[in-house]
Amino acid sequence: MKRTPSSGEGSGQSAEVKRMKEDGASGTASADREHAMLVKVMQISQPPAEKLSLATVGQFLEDETAKIARQHGPRGLQEGILFLARGWRRSEEGGVVPSTWAGIAPLQEAILTTSLAQLLAATADEKVAALTGLMENPVPVRLMNELLTAAAEDDAVPAKLLTALAGQLRGRTLGDQRSGPMSQLIRVLRSNKKYPNALVTSPLKEEIWRPNFESKFAWRNRKREVVSQQREGFSLQENTLLGWAMTPTPLDSGLSPPSKAHITEAGSTEWADLRRATRQRIDGLQRGVQAKLTGSQQQAAELVDLLLRAGDEPRMAVLEWIGAVMTGAEPRGRQGHVAPEGFNFWPQYGNHVIDVMGHAETSPFERSLKNLLMMQALQARIHGFPTSGCALNTFTLLLHLCKPIKPDQASSISVYFPSRPDLKDMLGNYLKEARFGEKEQVEAAMEVAKTDVGFTAAPADKALFKSEVFWLASRGMGSLLMPVAKEAFHAWQGIASAFYDKDPSISETAWREFLLAEASLKESSFLERLGHFVDLTFRFLQHAASNGQQTLPPPTPGPTWHAMPSSVLENVLELCDVYRERGERKKASGIPTGLFTHIDPDPVLTTLCIVMASDDHVKDPSLRGRAVKLLHRLCFAFQSWRDKLNQPPLDKQLIPCLVNVFIGVEKAIMSYYDLSYRYKYELRVPVMDLFDLALQHESHRQVLHQFTRGEGNDRFLKLLTQLINDSNSQTEEAIRTVKEYHEKKNETATSSASGRGSHDEQVLADDQTGDGDSAEDIYRRSRMNYKEHAKKYFGLATRTWKQLWLLCKLCAQVVVDGRTILEQLLHSSLDAQLHYLVGPEMKSIKASPQEYDELGFNPKDFVRQIAEMYLFLSRANRNEVVRIVGKDERYYSPTTFSKALNFVRKYGLLIGNDLEEFAAFCKELADKVAEQRAAFDEADIPENYLCEMMADIMSDPVQFPQSKKIVDRSVAERQIMGTDRDPYANTPVRVEDLIPLTELKEEIHRFAKEKGIVLEGGNMFG
């Protein structure tokens, strides 16, 4: 229907009127809706007489909270703010009000304003009580943070609030971690920096951060001088906030009295009867412990991170606290020596806890491992060092702090930082520790340190933080981690095994302690962080040793190495050895396991080779020997590490490194009583294994060829000298022991038992080191019976002979050209051993094949190797070999060589051309020796032509500068190769110091030509 103009105009007027009515109604509806929303959000049971609006809600909230405060008395402030907090929380819940409601933000601001006004009007004690209660309720984060920040403006609140929260953490355990109070404390510290700063300043500093400590025990010597005092470590563990944070641990069961033993992990029923537990059950138990432990450690790390970010003062306070704990732990770290039976924690029992516990005269109390664990805790209290669990948690914290340091930042760590005299609280006795440099070198390095930021910057300078945490972790490796690890992997495991049948209760306790410690020490995140730190340490050592230059061959060490504490290298080598996979040697899998999955092999192998190769870097032969043992173990465990030996730079440098370290460990002594030099021999076995491994590759054989004919000739000949001496000493020791064994067998049963007893007693006395209760029986297990001792030395001799045989095969020409070494090899080794093996001396050790097998002695192999070595050498220079063997009047005889030839034929030790060549060599030798001896017999040799040491005619007479004794040059050089000393004056001497006697030499050569006597090296007159 078509609308008329009049009707359209009327319609427009009515619409306008309708809109006006709707606007009025809308305003009323909006106010009603706002009122309803506020009532619903604040959960007001009796709505106010007047409608609530966003404009008036603030006043309403003030009135309401005042009313609540009056109703609840002392808890009024807390209940009033909780009322407001519930409103805040409901305003954010989607089911209460629409999330699009514009009133949410204004309402929250009104709530915040009211809460702050109520809080600020209260006293300090009321604030603390209210805040403590509020944190136990679901208060919105922003509201709680604002309240904490506002409360911090009251100078009295931070100390009182932190005291109230921290006090609840005392007595934390792994089963009762007090997670609530810990989370509340972290929440407070995160809210405002005033709280962390209050924690490390008075009065909290003296109450819960680092209370004043007074030693209650002192130890004096006979002169009544104080030699040691109770330390602060255990006090920090028991009486400080960080100590309570570090306390939860599956270890330290001895700290709990017997009445509370059931609440510890070790005392719980689920950890009972473990000796027969399946691996699946044990893995499940360990995973449960690891989950609880990592949770506690993460909380502690979060707490410390907050303190470190709060400013210079809290950061330095944390580092000094950790340093003080380590200073307290230092005595325990110094006790951490590995003994054959395992590391013993308890100093009064020496290093033989297994023997002590199993000894019939030990009191029943001391034969109980549970009692000894309680004594361990008592020792910690008396001596003042942190217990195993706290120490391990503290070290875990240090690994957490080191994690952000990237591997390529190792070179930025200051090597001079531990030499700072102004950081004793942090560094402890680092200043007193030995450095790699000599005194003059260290003094020169300290002059260089004055230009290094790590030495001169203010302690609170943030630029030092990386160096600070690295050096603390390095120090903690020796004093915090290693005593715990060695206690677990040596003591607990050893006790569990030794008493498995003897005393099941002791074995059960030890096995449980081991599994709990293993759960802590081999937790995956711990291993990852530890691997990162070990990798960082090796990179740092590599950079310091090379001065940032090419690492191999090792450059001359500079001040960065001279200033380095030697304990850094010692600790990381020991740690890697402790964490290596133990048990039976398995074929290299090529896949590193455990700790070594997180370590780059390149810096490790390079650093170890620097240590092995250079006595300028490391003068301690034992430490160099430990480096090669670790290299050996890692390369034989992991094929991927082994392959690195055939890649640059080790493909060109490994052989010189092995030669140098073999020579270097000559002076390695475990103790004054190491009469049979077994420690030195055992350090050399890994070197020989690595030689065998390397020389399977042509590249290494070429390096050996160049090295022995170039600058390394003298060192190679010295190595051969030491190999010869070792092989002779080892064989003689083994044969001597077998002779004694046969003598004892021939005695009566009574005298035999008596004889063995006296032998064992004497050996035990000889092989002990230390004084009194701390004495250490080094070789007790080997020398408790003759067979085992002989087997050990036959094994060493076999290994040494194999190495000597290999080098003679590959370097025969070098051996022959070094005439001095050739004579030593032929006379004192090949001729002598052939004399013992096929000569009359063999009767004294003759036994059945079965007994030879038990002893690990194979005469056939020995004879075969000796025969082949004669062939290797004679092919290089037959005439010289024949001449020198012919000079040997002590061991050479045609009869001995004839027996040797028959022995070789009988057992097929040589076949074909080799057998014919050996037979021709024996015949030629007999003929030439007969001629030579006939010439000597006819000649009346003047006395001054004879060597004063060997009583043989000289070919090149020289004089020792100190003793003035005249000997043949070959004899003098052989002596110097072995000891570097004048044998008559016992003074140092070098080959260059020998005085040649030219005129005497000419006289001797004229005399020899006239009489037809063959001289070494030929006659100068043709």
Question: Tens digit of pLDDT for each residue in 338-369?
Answer: 322 333 344 333 346 777 788 788 888 888 88
* Separation in Å, CA 416 to CA 443, 453, 532, 649: 12, 9, 22, 29
> Is the torsion defined by CA of 30, 32, 34, 40 positive or negative?
negative
**Token pair recorded at residue 382:** 């008396």
Q: If you average pLDDT over residues 430-443, what whole number do you get?
A: 92
DSSP assignment of 710-747 equals TTTHHHHHHHHHHHHHHHHHHHHHHHHHHHHHHHHHTS
Q: Name the token pair of 85.
A: 């907090």
Report which secondary-structure segment, H or E, holds 470.
Answer: helix 465-476
Mean pLDDT of 886-898: 87
Q: Please indicate whether residue 68 or residue 25 has the higher confidence score (pLDDT).
A: 68
Contact 613, 657 (CB under 8 A): yes
- Do 578 and 485 contact (CB within 8 A), yes or no? yes
Mean pLDDT for 19-25 is 46
C-alpha closest to that of 328 among 437, 433, 417, 236: 236
Half-sphere exposure at residue 298, Cβ-oriented, CA atoms within 13 angstroms: 9
- pLDDT for 652 beyond 70: yes
| Structural contact between residues 427 and 420, judged by C-beta atoms closer than 8 angstroms | yes
| Cα gap 741→756, rounded to integer Å | 9
Question: Is the separation of the CB atoms in 1015 and 955 below 8 Å?
Answer: yes
For residue 14, the model assigns a pLDDT of 55
Whether the predicted pLDDT of 585 surpasses 60: no
Q: Is the dihedral of CA 234, 240, 244, 245 positive or negative?
A: negative
Q: 366 in helix, strand or coil?
A: coil
Q: Are 106 and 122 in contact (CB under 8 A)?
A: no
Of 465 and 772, the structure prediction assigns the larger pLDDT to 465
What the block records as the tokens of 414 is 């200051």
Estimate to the nearest angstrom the gap between the alpha carbon of 137 and the chain centroid: 47
> Higher pLDDT residue, 150 or 677?
150
What local confidence, expressed as pLDDT, does residue 526 receive? 97
pLDDT in tens, 82-119: 999 999 999 888 777 888 888 899 999 999 999 999 99
Q: Output 719 or 666, whichever has higher pLDDT.
A: 719
Which of 324, 156, 314 shows the shortest CA–CA distance to 234? 324
pLDDT at 15: 53
pLDDT score of 336 more than 90: no
Distance CA 538, CA 604 (A): 6
Tokens linked to 572: 């990381």
The SS3 of residue 397 is helix
Lowest mean pLDDT among 206-215, 416-425, 759-768: 759-768
| CA 582 – CA 595 distance, rounded (Å) | 13
> Is the confidence at residue 250, as pLDDT, over 90?
yes
**Which regions of 770-870 does DSSP assign to beta strands (E)?**
776-777
Query: What is the separation of C-alpha 725 from the centre of its chain, rounded to a whole number of angstroms?
Result: 33
C-alpha span between 205 and 159 (Å, rounded): 10
d(CA 619, CA 667): 10
Q: What percent of the chain has pLDDT over 70?
A: 89
Residue with the larger pLDDT of the pair 46 and 418: 418
Q: Is the pLDDT of residue 967 over 70?
A: yes
Q: Is residue 228 over pLDDT 90?
A: no
**More confident site: 353 or 41:** 41
> Regarding predicted confidence, which is higher, 761 or 69?
69
Q: Are 107 and 58 in contact (CB under 8 A)?
A: no
Residues 6+ apart with CB under 8 A from 85: 111, 115, 134, 137, 138, 139, 140, 143
pLDDT band at 764 (very low <50, low <70, confident <90, very high): very low
CA distance 887 to 905: 26
Q: How far apart are CA 709 and CA 716, in angstroms?
A: 9
Give dist(CA 449, CA 252) in Å, integer.
Answer: 42
726-735, 774-783, 805-814: lowest mean pLDDT where?
Answer: 774-783
Cα angle 66, 68, 71 (rounded to 5 degrees) comes to 110
pLDDT value of position 352: 63
Mean pLDDT of the chain, nearest integer: 86
Segment 827-833 mean pLDDT: 92
| Percent of the chain whose predicted confidence (pLDDT) is above 90 | 58
Tell me the one-letter amino acid at 461: D
Instruction: Indicate if the pLDDT at residue 690 is higher than 60.
Output: yes
pLDDT of residue 766: 35
Burial class of 681 by CB neighbour count within 10 A (0 to 12, 13 to 18, 19+)? buried
pLDDT level of residue 676 (50, 70, 90 thresholds): low
Q: What is the pLDDT of residue 848?
A: 77
Per-residue confidence (pLDDT) for residue 568, from 0 to 100:
96
With cut-offs at 50, 70 and 90, classify the pLDDT of residue 211.
very high
The encoded tokens of residue 152 equal: 């911090």
Q: How many CB atoms lie within 10 A of CB 216?
A: 11
**Which letter does DSSP use for residue 492 in this model?**
I
- Encode pLDDT of 477-534 as tens digits: 999 999 899 888 888 888 888 889 889 999 999 999 999 999 999 999 999 999 999 9
How far apart (Å, rounded) are the C-alpha atoms in residues 317 and 208? 12
Highest mean pLDDT among 365-379, 801-815, 879-893: 801-815
Higher-scoring residue by pLDDT: 677, 102: 102
* Distance, C-alpha 945 to centroid of its chain: 58
Helix and strand element counts for the chain (H, E): 47, 7
Cα dihedral: 879, 882, 884, 890 (round 10): -170
Distance CA 14, CA 1 (A): 20
- One-letter identity of residue 813: Q
Residue 124: predicted pLDDT: 94
Largest interatomic CA distance in the chain? 165
Q: Is the peptide bond before 988 cis (omega within 30 degrees of 0)?
A: no
CA dihedral defined by 131, 133, 137, 138, rounded to 10 degrees? -10
Report the alpha-carbon distance of residue 677 to residue 680 in Å, rounded.
5
Half-sphere exposure of 524 (CA within 13 A, CB side): 3
pLDDT in tens, 536-567: 999 999 999 998 888 899 999 999 999 999 99
Strand, helix or coil for residue 45 = coil
Q: What is the pLDDT of residue 778?
A: 40
- What one-character-per-residue DSSP string does 142-184 give? HHHHHHHHHHHTSTHHHHHHHHHHHGGGTT--SS---HHHHHH
Antiparallel, parallel or unpaired: β 966-968 and 957-959? antiparallel
CA 891 to chain centre: 49
State the Cα–Cα distance between residues 252 and 237, nearest whole angstrom. Answer: 12
How far apart CA 691 and CA 770 sit, in angstroms, is 35
- Element of type H or E holding 72: helix 57-72
Task: Determine which helix (DSSP H) or strand (DSSP E) holds 273, and give its type and residue range.
Answer: none
Report the predicted TM-score, pTM, of the whole model to 2 decimal places: 0.85
- Least Cα distance to 778 among 769, 788, 787, 790 occurs for 769
Residue 930's pLDDT band (cuts 50, 70, 90): confident
Please say whether the beta carbons of 58 and 114 come within 8 A.
Answer: yes
* Least trusted range by pLDDT, from 255-264, 553-562, 564-573, 783-792: 783-792
270-279, 290-299, 574-583, 750-759, range with the lowest pLDDT: 750-759
User: Phi, psi (5° rounding) for residue 367?
Assistant: -85, -5
Point out the least confidently predicted range of 472-486, 670-684, 973-987.
670-684
Phi and psi angles of residue 551, each rounded to the nearest 5 degrees, phi first: -80, -40
Tell me the range of 359-373, 611-625, 923-937 where mean pLDDT is highest: 611-625
